[in-house]
Amino acid sequence: MGLFDKIKGEFIDVIEWIDNTNDTMIYRFERYNNEIKNGAKLTVRPGQYCVFISEGNEVGDGYGPGLHTLETQNMPIMTTLKSWKYGFNSPFKAEVYFFNLKEFTNLKWGLKNPIIVNDDRFGMIELRGFGTYAFKFEDPRKFAGKFLGTDGRFTTDEISEQLRSLIVMKFTDALAESKIPVEALAANVNELSKFALEVLNPEFQNDYGLVLTKFYVENLSMPDEVKKEIMELSRLNKIDLNKLAQLKMAKGLENSGGNNMGSNMMEMMMGMNIANQMMNRQGGNMNIGSNTPPPLVTYYVAVNGQQTGPYDINTLTQMAIKGEFKRESLVWTAGMAAWTAAGQVPELGVVFSNMPPPPPPPPPVG
């Protein structure tokens, strides 16, 4: 080989990438110390995009599919970066990267550490989650300016690792913006996935030149104690207070003939208390649509000429059981014109209606 052939071999005159893999997203053309000569041929195959980066790590020209001749007229950015004011005839050095434009699917994302969300009812809650996503390159030059360095090959694992922290950060924001109640998250992962895709995609496009084509939340989990609280709240919301009051009072009446008088009376008191709450909710003082609970009705009781109280229905029932409150006891509450015997107040009839009868007299001594 003569001297001319040796020098000629140091120059690159054909640039191309034949992809024999399934997971290569970005490939750097291996030129080693060779220089690209003026008029070199660049072949970009369908589904590829080629980006030149100058030795100063500045993003240069980009090329879509086709056969390109590398000359001043079709390298305007490199011409400016290299200060080729009058064209170039000598070889030059540049990094050449090929991008795979296909859609990369079934990429994994997951929260290594739980994220904290603030719920109005349950306070600060830790959530863990994972799922999958898919993306493709929309603007390879923009991506090159953000990520490319000295690495010559980028696989799906390497790229997804760099994107994972961004996904987690933006997903946390999307979760807060979704306004989905904590107890409904597990049942609305499809809606959350769609909303997160809408929130994340503009960030990926504008900042990184990527398009998120799919984003799925496959699982969201929370601490067991929070799950328990949510289950209890769900059951409470389903309770029919009117039926519960009837059940409690029925149990008390059913067992009134037993020996456990205290337990039976407690059942009835619970039922009366619930019934009283239901009546108060339906009273004229309640504003429809208001979240403010109605006021609890209480009564003052005259004892030895002195005013005592006020007492609610439960307290009066306990006093009646102990014999401290009777039908002839004088009572008064807001709205009454004067002190009135308790037995004449219809609302207090429930206090005495379930009172046990006096015990029978002892049998005569024979």
Predicted pLDDT at 247: 55
State pLDDT tens for residues 64-75.
Answer: 999 998 887 778
Q: What is the 3-state secondary structure (H, E, C) of 82-128?
A: CCCECECCCCECCEEEEEECCCEEEEEEECCCCEEEEECCCEEEEEE
Pick the CATH number of 104-227 from 3.30.70.960, 3.40.190.10, 3.30.479.30, 3.10.110.10: 3.30.479.30
334 near 234, Cβ under 8 Å? no
| Confidence at 121, pLDDT banded by 50, 70, 90 | low
Which residues have C-beta within 8 Å of that of residue 176, sequence separation ≥ 6? 117
Please state the domain extents for the chain.
3-100, 104-227, 239-279, 296-356
| Confidence at 1, pLDDT banded by 50, 70, 90 | very low
The average confidence (pLDDT) of the chain is: 75
Pick the closest to residue 13 from 31, 33, 26 (CA basis). 31
Q: Does this chain's domain 104-227 share its CATH topology with 296-356?
A: no
* Angle formed by the axes of helices 313-321 and 261-281, nearest 10°: 150
Range 206-228 average pLDDT: 84
The pTM of this model reads 0.56
117 near 175, Cβ under 8 Å? yes
Predicted pLDDT at 44: 95
Q: HSE (CB half, 13 Å, CA atoms) of 94?
A: 27
CA distance 197 to 212: 7
26 near 98, Cβ under 8 Å? yes
Q: HSE (CB half, 13 Å, CA atoms) of 191?
A: 10
Predicted pLDDT at 45: 94
Quote the strand ranges of 54-92, DSSP E. Answer: 59-63, 66-69
Percentage of the chain exceeding pLDDT 90: 12
Q: HSE (CB half, 13 Å, CA atoms) of 277?
A: 14
State pLDDT tens for residues 227-286.
Answer: 676 666 655 555 555 555 555 555 555 555 545 544 455 555 555 555 555 555 444 444
Predicted pLDDT at 333: 86
Structure tokens at 109: 């994302």
What is 296-356's CATH superfamily?
A: GYF domain (3.30.1490.40)
Strands 104-110 and 123-137: antiparallel
CA distance 14 to 41: 5
CA distance 347 to 253: 20
- Tell me which DSSP letter residue 283 carries: S
